Amino acid sequence: MSREAEQKRVNEVIKEITKKEEKLYTKGSGLKDTIINLRENFWDDVTVNLEELDDIIETQASIKQQAELLIEREQVHGNIDKELKKLKRLKDSPYFGRIDFREKPDDEPEYIYIGTASMMDQEQENFLIYDWRAPISSLYYDYAPGSAQYKTVDDTITGEITLKRQFIIRDGKIKSVFDTGLTIGDQLLQEALGDNASTSMKSIVATIQKEQNKIIRNERSNLLIVQGVAGSGKTSAVLQRIAYLLYRFRNELNAANLLLFSPNPLFSSYIANVLPELGEENISQSTFYDFLKNRISNDITIESPFAQMEYTLTATNRPEFGARLANMTYKSSLEYKSLLDQYIEDLGHEGIHFRNITLHQETLISKEQISEYFYSIDKEISLPNRMESVARWLLQTLRKVQQEEKNKDWIIEKVELLDKDDYLEAYHALQRDDGDETVQEEDFLRKEVVKRQFAPIKKRIKRYAFVNILASYRELFRTWEPLERPDDWEEIRSLTAASLSKKLLTWEEAAPYLYFKERLLGASNDRSVRHLFIDEAQDYSAFQFAFIRHLFPYTRMTLLGDVNQAIYAYSADENPLIPDSLEQNHERIILNKSYRSTKQIVEFTQKFAPHNTSIEPFERDGDKPQVIKPAYNSNITETLIKDIKQLRQKGHETIALICKTAKESSELFQTLKDKVSIREITEQTYTFEKGLLILPVYLAKGIEFDAVIIPDASQENYGQESDRGLFYTACTRAMHDLHVVTPGKPCKFVNEAKQETFEITNI
């Protein structure tokens, strides 16, 4: 089929789309009027009669019927709106691929056009477009012309691909069309990758590679591990995986059943458009920090992972720094989990701290009574079940106390403070009592006051607030003597006790503390989460992984990351992305090809990648990275401003100055803000915008920029071996241009790069 014939087909498909749109607009408009009318006349169409019990039941049924009618109409209208959005997307670019497939040698090949969503003809008989997630569409991603097969729900279909064709269609016009082999063609990728960086991640369904397709369509593994080099498309692939799972299991899964842990709030904003682009709802997203924070008491402060990182980079001269590093290493390990399990086991026999149950500063049930009752329960029963028994006992005991309190003098003072509505309610209650003179107004009001006074106490008991988790945890570092301890235990003990006394949890302490709380009170895990996705998994500690598995024991997980970008103190060689022994039914997929950066940037950075990983660059040419040495006596600020100007002249819309620390970033921002239009990215930044940005490297995780400037790549700034992951991560954020400014001696990582992979420039 010629290009003209292909364009003719595009035109015909767009006509079909237009017809479908017109029908839906007509139907939707009528429905909208119906919904408005139902809302405006809701109570006019409901029979309301509350005189007799039968009348009340009839009224409730009438309200329910009218509400269900309204909900049904609104759902249909919502589906129409969703379908219209899908058609709008297809109208611009109906499809991106075509395969001709025949099952038997004598058959005529079937033309299969693949796009972001399925669409049938007016008769609903033939597919004009197949959804990229449909089983047959996997042929496009996995095979070159020749023998091929795909799996359906029930069978495996074999046959032959006689043609594989790709399109670039914009505004309904074919810009490019070309036939290709196995790999999704370089021409399509060149266009996708040659553009400027966007403020949001885009769908990659038109350019999914075979290895990425394995990630997307994996249905077998309980644990899918994706080790992908910087720019390999692992995050994009996992977002398409989410869309695939929602499509493939649409009768079993919805967006509420999936959860994504992202590295920072800015990244959450950056990827927010991908699933809606594919016609799916966004799933729940959270940083692991927010996840922990929402489950730990509000009166406890938690250090963020970024604050921890800033501390390790800027506090090396503090006297407690060595002890803090030891604390980070130990509290991030499975060794500490074993010690914590030992302590929890001991608490089953003695040592849990409880709180008094009080009312108006008077103790109703003492913590000693609670402790005595708790430890009288059979030790073979689990701690959470024993806590549940204590809560029931407390509520029963409180009911007796409540009866006693009702007759005390302080109650009458509270009765006098009630408003007139309370007295009116008491009057009606007495009227409904059919003249029973034993029920007096004062007695009714006393009961009401006591009930209100005791309600918050009962609520706290149901939340197990009678257990002093913090005090119980603190005893681990005050009086408890472990059987085995690390060499630095006394320093760790002293440092932790000091933090806990201030109600402060360091980042390395947060997951262990919540694990401790869950072991005592029972897990608060959400059983509705069927799939968990963890991005930048290399930055999670061994303890954090174990805790996540404790919280989600039956949840399928997809972990993605890059050991080369492990930047936290505990993510060292002994803690790779994920140990092989963690899960039996797991699969590991390696992505070694980098698509983000130009070939020249990849060749420069791969020589100082932390793990000597073999990185294959995509064949997209650009300028060599520049190592900029400020001219003699030149002001570094002037150098940066000149460099920014040059990059803007090249047409770059998003330029990032990536600093090692937030301290460096903030100081440089203050210097530059009056000289150039610049935006500072901090831990509290939730939206990604184009322009000139300045940020610390650990907030740049997962994001890409047209050009990156590293303002201080000197040996003084990046002089430690532990800085390797930071420097590599900063450099690999660049898509088109990378400029490394070296006031003073360049850092050793620059010197490790091959001389021919970069240019030295004086500005």
Q: Confirm or deny that 235 is annotated as ligand binding.
A: yes
* Whether the Cβ atoms of residue 705 and residue 655 lie closer than 8 Å to each other: yes
Q: Confirm or deny that 185 is annotated as ligand binding.
A: no
Q: What residues are paired with 696 via a beta bridge?
A: 659
Q: Confirm or deny that 287 is annotated as ligand binding.
A: no
Which residues does 634 contact at the CB level (< 8 Å), separation at least 6? 763
Find tokens 């023998």 and name the residue.
147
Angle at 192 between CA 97 and CA 659, to 5 degrees: 150
Helix or strand (DSSP H, E) at 53 = helix 53-92
Burial class (CB in 10 A: 0-12, 13-18, 19+), 202: middle
- 711 CA to centre of own chain: 30
* Cα diameter, the chain: 101
Alpha helices in 529-653 (DSSP H): 542-551, 599-605, 636-649
Q: How far is CA 400 from CA 60, 232, 388, 445, 453, in A?
A: 37, 66, 19, 18, 14
223-228 β-sheet, strand order: 284-287, 258-262, 531-534, 556-561, 223-228, 586-591
How many whole angstroms separate alpha carbon 332 and alpha carbon 345? 20
Q: What is the DSSP letter of 221?
A: -
How many whole angstroms separate alpha carbon 72 and alpha carbon 570? 53
Q: What is the DSSP string of 256-323?
A: GGEEEEES-HHHHHHTTTHHHHTT-PPPEEEEHHHHHHTTS-TTSEE--HHHHHHHHHH-TTSTTHHH
Phi, psi of 508 (to 5 degrees): -70, -15
Q: Confirm or deny that 230 is annotated as ligand binding.
A: yes
Alpha helices in 120-252 (DSSP H): 138-142, 186-194, 210-216, 234-248
Q: Confirm or deny that 181 is annotated as ligand binding.
A: no
Q: Confirm or deny that 314 is annotated as ligand binding.
A: no
How many whole angstroms separate alpha carbon 203 and alpha carbon 237? 9
Q: Which residues are annotated as part of the binding site for ATP?
A: 228-235
The annotation places the binding site at 228-235
